Structure 1
Amino acid sequence: MRRLGAALLLLLLAAVPLQARAAEEDAPRILMMLRLAPAHFRAGSGYGGGYGEDQSAAARRRIAAAVAKRNGLRLAGNWPMPIIGIDCFILIVPKGRAPVEAAAQVARDPAVEWSEPVATFEAQGDPMPNDPLYPAQPVARAWHLAVLHRTATGRGERIAVIDSQVDARHPDLAGQVAIERNFVDGAGVAAERHGTGIAGVIAARPDNGVGIVGIAPGARLLALRACAEQGAGPGAATLCDSLSLARAVSFAVEQRADVINLSLAGPPSRLLETLLRIGVARGATVVAAYDPKLRGGGFPAAMPGVVAVAETPVGQAGGPYAAPGRDIPTTQPGGRWYLASGSSYAAAEVSGLIALIREGHATPGRRSALVSARPGGGEIDACASVVGKAKCAALRR
């Protein structure tokens, strides 16, 4: 009996850290930015600009702990982002206190660059019907995909899919994923529907006798998990927070991704915008899904320099680009295919199209120009975008 009691006590003690960790993951959080010390070089050594410690790391942690204590918060960790000269610290907000208020209070501290609440983003796809794959891809007809592939397949381009977990073993994706990383805290890494579907639209393998053909099958994917499915089944939402997204975007920019696909939308984030601006400045094209329910289509679609994409034309000046987004056959976990709908998948098509344009116009510093119904938006003319209007008629014959 004494042994049984001791065993139960050990089990209870072992469960406490797990319960505490789960509670911490559910607690509201804010992000606090401290400035990194300028990179310096020593003779015979180099600076990699990665996530490693530097000489001032301990000092920054002490400053962060002091700021947290002064403001009644708890320090939970950090994530250095050298590409923007920032060390991002994660602070836990006590129950009952508004994260917006806590972030504003922390931002007033002279040691802090800025602070913002951890925001939630949602993938922009409708629930997927549980139907078998139909043999027709709308974009194959609307965009004359086979014709475009005579000119370009996206070879040499690297596309970052920042989404939920991609099934890299899917028969239509095997060999298409160059890098896999998970930036979601405390979550498993089983293949998920939304990320796998987005990856298939972009780069599904051609001529393998199964499934579909991606828009840019010659490209290679960076499968960066920053989102997680909430529950199981076709109707499960796919959610991300601004911290996991920032980690993934920072990695994509450091890896020199040519295209960054963000098939999601949410509130503005200064941290994400700062990282995305660095990516655009380094030559990446950022593509985002347009959510008509959010102001300006949501963030990052509303950010200047981002290619915003909707599943149907939006009749307004400066509105988003439009690409096919209804009943899109695409890949699903476990070697399956289903139909999907939503601006998430329209954005993925445009990410693939931009890879084709970039391959066909591989000029340093050249931007990927989309030809569309109106300047900067409307329905896309994919053929004209890749080869120019003059060549389209000849190619289609």
Structure 2
Amino acid sequence: MVIILRIFLLGCLVVPEISCTSVDSQKVVDWTHPPESGGISPSANQILITFEDERNQRVPIADAVSGYRQRGDYANSTWSLNVAEALAKDYGLRQVTQWPINSLGIHCVVYEIPVNLSMEQVLKRLEMDKRIEAVQAMKTFHVRGETYTDPYFKLQTGIRDMHVESAQRIATGRNIKVAVIDTGVDVGHPDLTGQIALEQNFVDESKASPDDIHGTAVAGIIAASANNQMGIVGIAPDAKLIVLKACWQISPQKAEAVCNSLTLALALNSAINLKSEIINLSLTGPQDTLVGRLVDKALDDGIIVVASTSSPFAAEKDFPSSIKRVIAVRTANAVGNSSPSDTGIVPAPGQEILTTLPHATYNFMSGSSFAAAHISGVIALLLQLNPHLGSEQILSMLQASMSPSTSAQAVNTVNACVAVASLSGSSDCGNPTVRSGSALLASPSVLMPDR
């Protein structure tokens, strides 16, 4: 599937004390939207501006001009409303929505630029304004994956390749909070019932979909229930998921989804405020200033951030996996088909991964999104044993756990049991044994109900 994150132009207003030159009052303003591209409805004429507001701790995420879902019962501060209105007037912009990013102490406003104004000229004007800290162009992010139609193609090969069963004798991720920033999750799925501690939606209600395929698949890999006589087992079945919906599907029954900087920023802000211990970002793309600041804030707060990267060759340019201290994850290669050394990138199973899908179903998914979910699960096991571990320590443990495999069917990946045993002192990391009642013993008819 493809998750596309649309990033708006960013400007940070520090002190609102210098007036901007107003647009020519004789100029005809054309608000006609430009043609849509690829059915993704990019907002190429939108910009995002942030400014400091010490009162933003009591400002809601959206106001009445927005179609985005509002959180909280407080009103926007009069000061922020006045600044937002003045900016719209000064630059001939139309306000779309506004919300606080209180983890950074800023207030954000999204505007539309009339299509008959040059984006380049608007950028230059914003750059000259002494109130503006930074400006950036819209960018597109991609996460790639595939869905296999054969419902019985394979079972949970990733569990076996990573020796997760043996690791779960030592730790199960008990009470570790994992924030899944993605599409939503089917909270009624029988393998996810009781696994979700909190659910929040930051997506425009007009973009709602009855299916949340990608997020449900990621959630199942991380924390599907164990020993419930059905379905699959997650890497950390006793972890607690915080589901933060920041993406929405392009069309029903397809895993393609889109996100934008507004929804992603809100989800990151919420993950930080909720004191998540792990943030899973199964998405990738070019650099973005605001999102990068929020990821850095999470890391500074001791949150472990996991992000997918499309390949070992793309790790330097992929974002947010390229951010220092983020655990970058790629799909592991089969033994005998190894990639060149990619120091700092963690390989994990990402091909033909059996996982949860909406409406109590399961299917096989492929892509680095799901490799990242495997590693988020393993990190939850480690944090159960030592909640004070930092990103660099965890990265070292994950890389040290890897060892050459003699199996022709195996992949070069992290060994979850070896990583966990390095903290517990256990040496019981031999061939994993499937426990009685384990999901891997479930019948195919239970695993894969027909859709």
TM-score grouping bracket, smaller chain normalisation: 0.7 to 0.9
2:303 is aligned with 1:303: no
Among 129, 145, 149, the alignment partner of 2:168 is 149
- Is 1:77–2:97 an aligned residue pair? yes
How far apart, in 2, do the equivalents of 1:255 and 1:130 lie? 38
Change in CA separation of 1:360 and 1:389 when aligned onto 2, cut-off 3 Å = closer
Structure 1 residue corresponding to 2:381, chosen from 351, 356, 377: 356
Question: Quick check: 1:394 aligned with 2:428?
Answer: yes
Seq. identity, %? 33
Structure 1 residue 228 corresponds to structure 2 residue 248: yes
Aligned CA-pair RMSD: 3.1
| Residue matched to 2:15 | none
Supply the distance in 1 between the matched residues of 2:257 and 2:298 (Cα, whole angstroms): 24
The 8 Å contact of residues 147 and 395 in structure 1, kept in 2 or not, is answered as: yes
Instruction: Identify the structure with bigger relative contact order (alpha carbons < 8 Å, sequence gap 6+).
Output: 2
Aligned amino acid, residue 386 of structure 1:
V
The within-5 A match list for 1:1-397 is 27-28=43-44, 29-37=46-54, 57-95=77-115, 102-103=122-123, 105-122=125-142, 124-134=143-153, 136-185=155-204, 186-234=206-254, 236-292=255-311, 294=314, 296-312=316-332, 314-363=339-388, 369-370=394-395, 371-373=397-399, 379-388=413-422, 391=425, 393-396=427-430
For the structure 1 residues 241 and 98, does the alpha-carbon distance in structure 2 shift closer, same or farther, using more than 3 Å as the test?
farther
8 Å CA contact retained: 1:125, 1:345: no
Q: Is the alpha carbon distance of 1:118 and 1:135 closer, same or farther for their aligned partners in structure 2, counting shifts above 3 Å?
A: same
Contact 2:60 2:74 in 1 (8 A): no
For residues 35 and 363 of structure 1, the distance between their equivalents in structure 2, rounded to whole angstroms, comes to 32
Alpha-carbon spacing, 1:101–1:178, altered in 2? closer, same or farther (3 Å): farther
CA offset at residue 359 of structure 1?
Answer: 0.3
Q: Distance in 1 between matches of 2:95 and 2:359?
A: 40
Partner of 2:405: none
- Would you say the 8 A contact 1:300–1:306 is kept in 2? yes
How far apart in 2 are the matches of 1:341 and 1:325?
5
How far 1:180 sits from its partner (Å)? 1.0
Q: CA shift at 1:110, angstroms?
A: 2.3
**1:268: Cα distance to partner?**
1.1
- Residue 354 of structure 2 aligns to a residue whose secondary structure is strand
The alpha-carbon deviation at position 384 of structure 1 amounts to 2.4
Gaps of 5+ in 2: 1-31, 62-71, 334-338, 403-411, 432-451
TM-score by length of 2: 0.73
Deviation at 1:230, TM superposition (A): 1.2
SS class of match (2:310): coil
Letter matched to residue 32 of structure 1: I
Q: Which has the higher helix share?
A: 1
Q: Which runs of 5 or more residues in structure 1 are unaligned? A: 1-18, 40-46
